[in-house]
Amino acid sequence: MQWQFDKRFVFLCGPNGSGKTNVLEAISLLNLPKGIRSCEIEEFGQYKDGKFQDWTVFYDLSGSTASIECRENQKTLRLHHKIVLQKQLLDFVHIFWVAPENDRLFAGSPSERRNFLHKLIVLTDHEFQEIYNQYTRLIQERNQILKMPKPDANWLDSLEIKIASFGEQIYTKRNAFLDMLNEWIQRLVYFSNHRFTMIDERPEDMVSELCKNRTYDQLRGGSKVGPHKSDLVGYRYDMPVHLCSNGQQCVALFAILLGIVKQYSQIHNVLFLIDEVFSHLDKENQKVLLDELSAMPTVQTFMTATEPLNYADVQYIVI
C-alpha cells in the first residue's frame, strides 16, 4: 500500500476500527521506538500460523528517504539506505503528537502531567532524562535502606546528598523549560492567553529535609519531599485550566504543543499528528487551530476523523 501526502493538512477519515490510527502509528515510528501508543515491537506485526510476519515502512520527505523494517521481531532503521540509530532520524524530521489519552491531561493525576512535561523537556535538554532516572534510582535505594531494621545512617547521609544534588538540577531545568515554553506560547496568535507553571514545595535545604523526614518516609514507603511531588498547572487568563471545560482543557493542551511545534518548525521539518482529539474542539477552535498551523510553513499536520470536515486546502484520505 502506498500513499502520497501532498497537502500540509491531511485528514484520515473512516469509521472506528478502520485503521486511521495505524497510519499515524507508522509515521510516528520515525521518532518514537514504540509509536504513539507505546506498543512493543511484536505488537506491530501480524501473526500467521503462529509465525511473525515481517514488515517494512518506507518514507520519503522532500527527497530524503528512510525506512523501518522488522524481521523476526528485530527492527532496523535506515536513512538514505544506511543503518542509523533512532536519534539520528531527528535530523530527518521531528514528530509531535496528541492522542485521545492526552485530552484529559489536566483532569488526570500529577504523575501523568509530570511525565508529559518531562517528555517535552527532553526535546530541548537531552541530559534531563538521565538526571531524572538517577534521581529516581537513588530515591528507590533510600527507600530500601529505610526498610531495614537498623538503617545505616552514614549510607543515608551519602545518598541524601546525591538525591538533593539531582533534585536541585531537576527543579532548575524544569523551571527553565517552562520559562521558555511560556515565551513560545506568547508568540502564538490565538493561544497566548495561556501560561504554565509548577506547583512545588521546593525545600530551601533538601538534604536536611530528607534527613528530618526519615521516620515519616520509613512508615509511608516513599519520600515526602522532592521534584517527584511537583505538579504542572496551567492557566487560561487567570482561571486554572483544571477548572475549565473539557474543550478549554483541550485548547490548553494545544497551546503547549503549538508553542513547541512553532519553535521547532523554524529549524526542522515537523510532522504534527492529531489522533481523534481534534473532534473534541468546536468549529471555532478547530478553525483557530488550523489558522495557527497555517502560519507554520514547515509543519505538515495529520488528523484523524470519522468524517470529512469542510476546510479548504486539505487532503482527505478515506480509510
CATH number, domain at 248? 1.20.1050.90
Q: What is the pTM of this model?
A: 0.88
* pLDDT tens per residue across span 21-71: 888 988 888 887 777 777 776 667 667 777 777 888 899 887 788 888 888
Q: For residue 242, is it within any domain?
A: yes
Q: For residue 239, is it within any domain?
A: yes
Q: For residue 17, is it within any domain?
A: no
User: What domain count does the chain have?
Assistant: 1
Domain holding 114, by residue range, is: 103-266
Q: For residue 60, is it within any domain?
A: no
Distance CA 126, CA 87 (A): 11
* pLDDT tens per residue across span 196-217: 999 988 999 999 999 999 999 9
Is 80 exceeded by the pLDDT of residue 20?
yes
What letters, b where the CB count within 10 A reaches 16 and e where it falls short, cover 113-125?
bbeebbebbeeeb
Q: For residue 6, is it within any domain?
A: no
Exposed/middle/buried for residue 61 (C-beta within 10 Å: 0-12, 13-18, 19+): middle
